[in-house]
Amino acid sequence: MLSLHRKHFYIINYTIMLKPGPIGVFDSGYGGLTILSEIQTLMPEYDYCYLGDNSRAPYGSRSFDVVYQFTRQSVMALFERGCNLVILACNTASAKALRTIQQKDLPDINHSKRVLGVIRPTVEAIGELTKSRHVGVLGTVGTIQSESYPLEINKLYPDIKVTGEACPMWVPLVENREYDSEGADYFIKDKLNNILSKDPQIDTLILGCTHYPLLLNKIKQYLPQTIQVISQGEYVARSLKDYLRRHVEMDMVCTKNGKTKYFTTEYPKKFSESATIFLKKEIEVERIDLE
Ligand code: DGL
Protein backbone atom coordinates (compact mmCIF):
# COMPACT_ATOMS: atom_id res chain seq x y z
CA MET A 1 0.00 0.00 0.00
CA LEU A 2 2.77 2.31 1.03
CA SER A 3 4.72 1.55 -2.15
CA LEU A 4 1.62 2.22 -4.27
CA HIS A 5 1.28 5.66 -2.65
CA ARG A 6 4.94 6.31 -3.20
CA LYS A 7 4.66 5.32 -6.90
CA HIS A 8 1.75 7.74 -7.39
CA PHE A 9 3.65 10.46 -5.63
CA TYR A 10 6.60 9.99 -7.99
CA ILE A 11 4.40 10.01 -11.08
CA ILE A 12 2.59 13.20 -9.96
CA ASN A 13 5.88 14.79 -9.01
CA TYR A 14 7.42 13.90 -12.38
CA THR A 15 4.53 15.22 -14.46
CA ILE A 16 4.55 18.50 -12.51
CA MET A 17 8.17 19.00 -13.52
CA LEU A 18 7.72 18.11 -17.20
CA LYS A 19 5.30 19.83 -19.54
CA PRO A 20 3.83 17.34 -22.07
CA GLY A 21 5.50 17.47 -25.49
CA PRO A 22 6.48 15.51 -28.60
CA ILE A 23 9.13 12.78 -28.79
CA GLY A 24 12.35 14.14 -30.30
CA VAL A 25 14.20 12.22 -33.03
CA PHE A 26 17.65 13.40 -34.02
CA ASP A 27 20.13 12.52 -36.75
CA SER A 28 23.03 14.24 -38.46
CA GLY A 29 20.91 14.26 -41.63
CA TYR A 30 18.25 12.20 -43.37
CA GLY A 31 19.20 8.78 -42.02
CA GLY A 32 17.14 9.15 -38.85
CA LEU A 33 14.04 9.35 -41.04
CA THR A 34 14.40 5.58 -41.59
CA ILE A 35 13.99 5.21 -37.83
CA LEU A 36 11.28 7.86 -37.49
CA SER A 37 9.09 6.23 -40.16
CA GLU A 38 9.23 2.84 -38.37
CA ILE A 39 8.39 4.54 -35.05
CA GLN A 40 5.49 6.43 -36.65
CA THR A 41 4.16 3.20 -38.16
CA LEU A 42 4.24 1.41 -34.80
CA MET A 43 3.08 4.37 -32.69
CA PRO A 44 1.07 6.69 -34.98
CA GLU A 45 -0.80 8.35 -32.12
CA TYR A 46 2.28 10.11 -30.67
CA ASP A 47 3.66 13.53 -31.67
CA TYR A 48 7.23 13.78 -32.97
CA CYS A 49 9.79 16.46 -33.60
CA TYR A 50 12.56 15.49 -36.08
CA LEU A 51 15.83 17.38 -36.33
CA GLY A 52 18.43 16.78 -39.05
CA ASP A 53 21.72 18.62 -38.64
CA ASN A 54 22.16 18.49 -42.42
CA SER A 55 24.42 21.52 -42.67
CA ARG A 56 27.07 19.72 -40.57
CA ALA A 57 26.52 16.15 -41.84
CA PRO A 58 28.19 13.74 -42.15
CA TYR A 59 29.29 13.22 -38.56
CA GLY A 60 30.90 9.86 -39.33
CA SER A 61 34.54 10.90 -39.60
CA ARG A 62 34.43 13.70 -37.00
CA SER A 63 36.22 13.54 -33.66
CA PHE A 64 34.61 12.42 -30.41
CA ASP A 65 34.50 16.01 -29.09
CA VAL A 66 32.89 17.46 -32.20
CA VAL A 67 30.22 14.74 -32.42
CA TYR A 68 29.50 15.24 -28.73
CA GLN A 69 29.19 19.05 -29.04
CA PHE A 70 26.98 18.86 -32.15
CA THR A 71 24.77 16.18 -30.61
CA ARG A 72 24.44 18.07 -27.33
CA GLN A 73 23.37 21.22 -29.20
CA SER A 74 20.80 19.23 -31.16
CA VAL A 75 19.39 17.58 -28.04
CA MET A 76 19.11 21.01 -26.38
CA ALA A 77 17.27 22.37 -29.43
CA LEU A 78 14.76 19.50 -29.18
CA PHE A 79 14.35 20.03 -25.43
CA GLU A 80 13.69 23.74 -26.13
CA ARG A 81 10.95 22.68 -28.55
CA GLY A 82 9.19 20.81 -25.77
CA CYS A 83 10.58 17.28 -26.12
CA ASN A 84 11.03 15.33 -22.89
CA LEU A 85 12.39 12.21 -24.55
CA VAL A 86 14.90 12.33 -27.41
CA ILE A 87 16.00 9.38 -29.54
CA LEU A 88 19.45 9.70 -31.08
CA ALA A 89 18.53 8.06 -34.39
CA CYS A 90 22.19 8.12 -35.34
CA ASN A 91 24.72 5.42 -34.52
CA THR A 92 27.66 7.81 -34.59
CA ALA A 93 26.00 10.07 -32.01
CA SER A 94 24.83 7.06 -29.99
CA ALA A 95 28.39 5.68 -29.97
CA LYS A 96 30.22 8.92 -29.24
CA ALA A 97 27.87 11.22 -27.34
CA LEU A 98 25.03 9.30 -25.71
CA ARG A 99 26.78 8.17 -22.54
CA THR A 100 28.25 11.61 -21.77
CA ILE A 101 24.90 13.30 -22.34
CA GLN A 102 23.10 10.75 -20.14
CA GLN A 103 25.62 10.76 -17.32
CA LYS A 104 27.12 14.25 -17.34
CA ASP A 105 24.64 16.62 -18.98
CA LEU A 106 21.14 15.40 -18.15
CA PRO A 107 21.50 15.69 -14.35
CA ASP A 108 22.39 19.40 -14.87
CA ILE A 109 19.94 20.20 -17.67
CA ASN A 110 16.84 18.44 -16.29
CA HIS A 111 17.12 15.17 -14.46
CA SER A 112 13.64 14.07 -15.61
CA LYS A 113 14.31 14.33 -19.36
CA ARG A 114 15.69 11.29 -21.19
CA VAL A 115 17.92 10.62 -24.20
CA LEU A 116 18.09 7.12 -25.74
CA GLY A 117 20.20 5.67 -28.55
CA VAL A 118 19.86 3.11 -31.34
CA ILE A 119 22.72 0.74 -30.60
CA ARG A 120 21.29 -1.02 -27.53
CA PRO A 121 17.93 -2.01 -29.13
CA THR A 122 19.78 -3.44 -32.14
CA VAL A 123 22.24 -5.34 -29.98
CA GLU A 124 19.48 -6.85 -27.83
CA ALA A 125 17.82 -8.33 -30.93
CA ILE A 126 20.95 -9.85 -32.43
CA GLY A 127 21.26 -12.92 -30.15
CA GLU A 128 18.05 -14.36 -31.65
CA LEU A 129 18.98 -13.56 -35.22
CA THR A 130 22.39 -15.15 -35.80
CA LYS A 131 22.76 -18.91 -36.09
CA SER A 132 26.48 -19.05 -36.93
CA ARG A 133 27.27 -16.61 -34.05
CA HIS A 134 29.34 -14.59 -36.54
CA VAL A 135 27.97 -11.07 -36.99
CA GLY A 136 29.17 -8.21 -39.19
CA VAL A 137 28.62 -4.51 -38.51
CA LEU A 138 28.73 -1.87 -41.23
CA GLY A 139 28.94 1.70 -39.97
CA THR A 140 30.69 5.04 -40.12
CA VAL A 141 34.36 5.38 -39.19
CA GLY A 142 33.29 6.82 -35.83
CA THR A 143 30.90 3.98 -35.00
CA ILE A 144 33.34 1.24 -36.00
CA GLN A 145 36.34 2.83 -34.26
CA SER A 146 34.33 3.31 -31.06
CA GLU A 147 33.97 -0.50 -30.84
CA SER A 148 30.51 0.12 -29.39
CA TYR A 149 28.92 -2.80 -31.23
CA PRO A 150 31.43 -5.53 -30.26
CA LEU A 151 31.51 -4.24 -26.67
CA GLU A 152 27.73 -4.12 -26.30
CA ILE A 153 27.10 -7.39 -28.17
CA ASN A 154 29.69 -9.28 -26.13
CA LYS A 155 28.26 -7.96 -22.86
CA LEU A 156 25.00 -9.75 -23.70
CA TYR A 157 26.31 -12.55 -25.91
CA PRO A 158 29.98 -13.38 -25.21
CA ASP A 159 29.88 -16.25 -27.75
CA ILE A 160 29.24 -13.98 -30.77
CA LYS A 161 32.20 -12.96 -32.93
CA VAL A 162 31.73 -9.41 -34.22
CA THR A 163 33.56 -7.99 -37.23
CA GLY A 164 33.25 -4.34 -38.23
CA GLU A 165 33.80 -2.48 -41.50
CA ALA A 166 33.75 1.30 -41.85
CA CYS A 167 32.03 2.57 -45.00
CA PRO A 168 32.90 6.30 -45.14
CA MET A 169 31.46 6.81 -48.64
CA TRP A 170 28.01 5.39 -47.94
CA VAL A 171 26.53 8.36 -46.03
CA PRO A 172 27.61 10.90 -48.69
CA LEU A 173 26.00 8.64 -51.34
CA VAL A 174 22.69 8.85 -49.47
CA GLU A 175 22.93 12.55 -48.48
CA ASN A 176 23.64 13.40 -52.14
CA ARG A 177 20.87 11.13 -53.43
CA GLU A 178 23.31 8.88 -55.28
CA TYR A 179 22.16 5.69 -53.57
CA ASP A 180 20.58 4.29 -56.75
CA SER A 181 23.34 5.40 -59.11
CA GLU A 182 25.72 3.06 -60.90
CA GLY A 183 28.62 4.75 -59.13
CA ALA A 184 27.30 3.54 -55.78
CA ASP A 185 27.84 -0.11 -56.78
CA TYR A 186 31.62 0.13 -56.61
CA PHE A 187 31.67 1.40 -53.00
CA ILE A 188 29.04 -1.08 -51.86
CA LYS A 189 30.64 -4.14 -53.45
CA ASP A 190 34.09 -3.16 -52.16
CA LYS A 191 33.00 -2.89 -48.50
CA LEU A 192 30.90 -6.06 -48.57
CA ASN A 193 33.83 -8.02 -50.06
CA ASN A 194 36.11 -6.64 -47.34
CA ILE A 195 33.94 -7.64 -44.42
CA LEU A 196 33.19 -11.10 -45.81
CA SER A 197 36.86 -11.77 -46.46
CA LYS A 198 37.62 -10.82 -42.82
CA ASP A 199 35.05 -13.36 -41.60
CA PRO A 200 33.44 -15.67 -44.19
CA GLN A 201 31.22 -17.26 -41.50
CA ILE A 202 29.12 -14.09 -41.01
CA ASP A 203 25.42 -14.94 -41.37
CA THR A 204 24.00 -11.61 -40.10
CA LEU A 205 25.00 -8.11 -41.18
CA ILE A 206 23.88 -5.12 -39.10
CA LEU A 207 23.38 -1.87 -40.96
CA GLY A 208 24.89 0.13 -38.11
CA CYS A 209 24.12 3.50 -39.65
CA THR A 210 20.63 4.86 -40.07
CA HIS A 211 21.40 6.07 -43.61
CA TYR A 212 22.19 2.60 -44.92
CA PRO A 213 18.65 1.20 -45.35
CA LEU A 214 18.46 3.43 -48.43
CA LEU A 215 21.23 1.27 -49.93
CA LEU A 216 19.51 -2.00 -49.04
CA ASN A 217 18.59 -3.04 -52.59
CA LYS A 218 22.14 -2.71 -53.78
CA ILE A 219 23.58 -4.31 -50.63
CA LYS A 220 21.36 -7.39 -51.11
CA GLN A 221 22.41 -7.59 -54.75
CA TYR A 222 26.03 -8.21 -53.73
CA LEU A 223 25.44 -10.59 -50.83
CA PRO A 224 24.73 -14.33 -50.84
CA GLN A 225 21.09 -14.99 -49.94
CA THR A 226 22.19 -16.93 -46.86
CA ILE A 227 23.24 -13.66 -45.18
CA GLN A 228 20.47 -11.69 -43.50
CA VAL A 229 20.70 -7.91 -43.41
CA ILE A 230 19.39 -6.10 -40.34
CA SER A 231 18.00 -2.56 -40.58
CA GLN A 232 17.54 -1.01 -37.16
CA GLY A 233 14.22 0.82 -37.54
CA GLU A 234 11.84 -1.91 -36.45
CA TYR A 235 13.98 -2.88 -33.43
CA VAL A 236 14.32 0.72 -32.27
CA ALA A 237 10.58 1.28 -32.70
CA ARG A 238 9.68 -1.85 -30.72
CA SER A 239 12.16 -0.97 -28.00
CA LEU A 240 10.74 2.56 -27.69
CA LYS A 241 7.22 1.21 -27.38
CA ASP A 242 8.39 -1.16 -24.67
CA TYR A 243 10.26 1.67 -22.91
CA LEU A 244 7.11 3.80 -22.76
CA ARG A 245 5.10 0.84 -21.50
CA ARG A 246 7.61 0.39 -18.66
CA HIS A 247 7.99 4.14 -17.97
CA VAL A 248 4.42 5.32 -17.51
CA GLU A 249 5.66 8.61 -16.06
CA MET A 250 7.37 9.40 -19.40
CA ASP A 251 4.48 8.13 -21.50
CA MET A 252 2.17 10.51 -19.61
CA VAL A 253 4.21 13.51 -20.75
CA CYS A 254 4.31 12.48 -24.44
CA THR A 255 1.56 14.26 -26.37
CA LYS A 256 -0.60 12.15 -28.67
CA ASN A 257 -2.17 14.01 -31.61
CA GLY A 258 -0.43 12.09 -34.42
CA LYS A 259 1.53 15.19 -35.56
CA THR A 260 5.19 15.54 -36.60
CA LYS A 261 7.28 18.69 -37.00
CA TYR A 262 10.48 18.68 -39.03
CA PHE A 263 13.53 20.88 -38.49
CA THR A 264 16.81 21.11 -40.38
CA THR A 265 19.95 23.21 -40.10
CA GLU A 266 20.09 23.34 -43.94
CA TYR A 267 17.67 24.73 -46.52
CA PRO A 268 14.12 23.54 -45.78
CA LYS A 269 13.33 23.06 -49.49
CA LYS A 270 16.30 20.75 -49.95
CA PHE A 271 15.38 18.83 -46.82
CA SER A 272 11.74 18.40 -47.76
CA GLU A 273 12.60 17.17 -51.28
CA SER A 274 14.98 14.54 -49.92
CA ALA A 275 12.80 13.63 -46.97
CA THR A 276 9.97 12.83 -49.38
CA ILE A 277 12.08 9.96 -50.73
CA PHE A 278 12.51 8.53 -47.23
CA LEU A 279 8.97 9.14 -45.98
CA LYS A 280 7.07 8.83 -49.27
CA LYS A 281 5.02 11.94 -48.47
CA GLU A 282 5.37 15.73 -48.65
CA ILE A 283 6.33 17.53 -45.46
CA GLU A 284 6.77 21.06 -44.18
CA VAL A 285 10.17 21.91 -42.77
CA GLU A 286 11.54 24.74 -40.67
CA ARG A 287 15.16 25.83 -40.57
CA ILE A 288 16.94 26.34 -37.26
CA ASP A 289 20.47 27.34 -36.29
CA LEU A 290 22.33 25.42 -33.62
CA GLU A 291 24.99 26.67 -31.26
N1 DGL B 1 22.90 8.24 -39.64
C2 DGL B 1 24.16 8.43 -38.99
C3 DGL B 1 24.59 7.15 -38.27
O4 DGL B 1 23.73 6.32 -38.00
C5 DGL B 1 25.06 8.99 -40.03
C6 DGL B 1 26.34 9.39 -39.59
C7 DGL B 1 27.00 10.50 -40.36
O8 DGL B 1 26.49 11.61 -40.35
O9 DGL B 1 28.07 10.22 -40.88
O10 DGL B 1 25.72 6.94 -37.91
Atom of ligand 1 nearest to the CA of 27: 1
Domain positions in the chain: 4-12+19-117+235-287, 120-232
Q: How far is the CA of 8 from the centre of ligand 1 (A)?
A: 40
Q: How far is the CA of 82 from the centre of ligand 1 (A)?
A: 24
Ligand 1 within 6 A of CB of 163:
no
Cα separation, 285 vs 280, whole angstroms: 15
Ligand 1 within 6 A of CB of 144:
no
Pick the closest to residue 274 from 187, 174, 183, 207 (CA basis). Answer: 174
Confirm whether 4-12+19-117+235-287 and 120-232 share one CATH topology: yes
Taking CA atoms only, the protein residue closest to ligand 1 atom 8 is 58
Residue range 120-232 in CATH 3.40.50.970: no
Q: What is the CATH number assigned to the segment(s) 4-12+19-117+235-287?
A: 3.40.50.1860
Q: Indicate the top mutation candidate among 61, 120, 210 to test ligand 1's pocket, ranked by most ligand atoms within 8 A of CB.
A: 210
Angle at 154 between CA 149 and CA 159, to 5 degrees: 130
pLDDT of residue 6: 54
Ligand 1 within 6 A of CB of 143:
yes
Cα separation, 226 vs 284, whole angstroms: 41
Three-state DSSP class for residue 21: strand
Successive 10-residue mean pLDDT values, the chain, 291 residues: 50 67 96 96 98 95 96 98 98 97 94 96 96 98 96 98 97 88 95 98 98 94 96 97 97 98 96 87 94 79
Ligand 1 within 6 A of CB of 58:
yes
- Residue type at 273 in one-letter notation: E
- Residue 6: count other Cβ atoms within 10 Å of its Cβ: 10
Ligand 1 within 6 A of CB of 209:
yes
Please give the positions annotated as active site.
Answer: 90, 209
Taking CA atoms only, the protein residue closest to ligand 1 atom 9 is 60
Atom of ligand 1 nearest to the CA of 95: 10
Ligand 1 within 6 A of CB of 213:
no
Give the torsion sign (CA, 174, 38, 207, 56).
positive
